[in-house]
Amino acid sequence: MFLPRTALFPPIEPYRQGMLAVDDIHTLYWEECGNPDGLPVLFLHGGPGGGVTPRHRCFFHPQHYRIVLFDQRGAGRSTPLGEYRNNTTQLLIDDIERLRVMLGIEQWLTFGGSWGSTLALAYGQAHPERCLGFILRGIFLCTQPEIDWFMHGIRWFFPEAHDEFIARIPETERADLLHAYEKRLFCDDPDVYMPAARAWSRYEGSCLFLRPEPEAIDDFGSDAVSLGIGRLEAHYFLHRGFFEEDQLVRGIDRIRHLPAVIIQGRYDVVCPPATAHRLHQAWPEAAFHIVPDAGHAAAEPGITSALVNATEQFRLGRGFI
C-alpha cells in the first residue's frame, strides 16, 4: 500500500562533489547525494541564476536515488557568479550532457521547477533518449506573454512589491522595464548593477509564496543570490530563453512517450497556472496536479508534498497518477 508522504526526507550531505570547467569563463559546481548505485535523478534549479541549496537534496528517497545537483552557469557556487557571457540554453543543455558523461550515467529522471521546468523540457527535447521521465513544477515556457506578465502584470497582485521594483527606474523608462533594467544590470559599475540586481531579486522573492515569507525576501535580496537572479533572469528574458517561437510546446512529441507529472500552485503569481494548463493541453499524457492552496515556491507545503509523492511514485514503479 502506498502511503503519501507529506514532508521532505531528512537532510543529507553529498558523498561526492566538485567543480567542472566547461569553457574559458565558466566553472560549474556539482554534487552527488544519496545512493551511489541508485536510480539517477537530475535536479535542475530555477531562476535562471537561482542555484541549489541543501533542501533540494531532500525531495528524494536517499536510499533509492542517486541524486545529482549542479549550479548552472553564473549561479550559486559556479563561477563567475552572475556571468552572462557564454550563457545560453543550448550551452546549459551541453553542460548537462557533459556532466552526465563525466558521471557515467546512461539515463536519469529529470526534476525541475520554474526555470528548472523550462530547462528540463529543453534538455528532454534535445536528448529524449537520456530521460527516464519528468517531474515539473511551476511551469515557465519563456514566451513573451509570460515575460511581460513578470515585468508588468504581477503588479495586479503585488502592487507594493512592484512599486519597489520600479522605484529606481525613471518614469520615462517604465513602459519598457526590461530594457531599463538591462542598462543598469549589465553596466560595469557595481554601484549601479548591484542595487538593480537586489531590486529585481527582492521583487521575485516577495511574490513567491501564498503567504508572505520575510526570510525568503531577505535571502533573495542577499548579494550571493541577487546577482545571479537579477542578471541572468534579465539576460534570458531579453533573449526569450534562446528559443524559437513556442519551441517547448511544439517539441512535445519528442518526449510525449515518457512519463511526466506537472505540479502547479493554484495561486502562483510568478508563473501563473494558465501556462501549466497550456502545457498539459499539448501533453495530455502527463499527469497534472493543481495544488489548491499554494503559490509558486517549492517550499509551499502542498507543493512539497506533491513533489515528494511524485518521486515516491516513480521509485515504487507506479508511474505518475
Neighbours of 221 (CB within 10 A): 18
Q: Is 257 a catalytic residue?
A: no
Rounded CA-CA distance 26/110 in Å is: 23
Rounded CA-CA distance 177/173 in Å is: 7
Annotated catalytic residue, options 78, 114, 206, 305: 114
Annotated catalytic residue, options 26, 201, 296, 305: 296
Annotated catalytic residue, options 26, 268, 289, 305: 268
Q: Is 268 a catalytic residue?
A: yes
Neighbours of 57 (CB within 10 A): 24
Q: Residue 25: what are its φ and ψ, rounded to 5°?
A: -105, -50
* Of the candidates 222, 193, 191, 192, the residue with the CA atom closest to the CA atom of residue 205: 222
238 is written with which cell numbers? 531579453
Q: Is 296 a catalytic residue?
A: yes
* Of the candidates 142, 150, 204, the residue with the CA atom closest to the CA atom of residue 177: 150
- Give SS3 for 8: coil
User: Which residue matches cell numbers 528559443?
Assistant: 243
* CB neighbour burial string for 114-139, b if at least 16 within 10 angstroms, e if fewer: bbbbbbbbbbbbbbeebbbbbbbbbb
**Chain centre to alpha carbon of residue 203:** 16
Residues annotated as part of the active site: 114, 268, 296
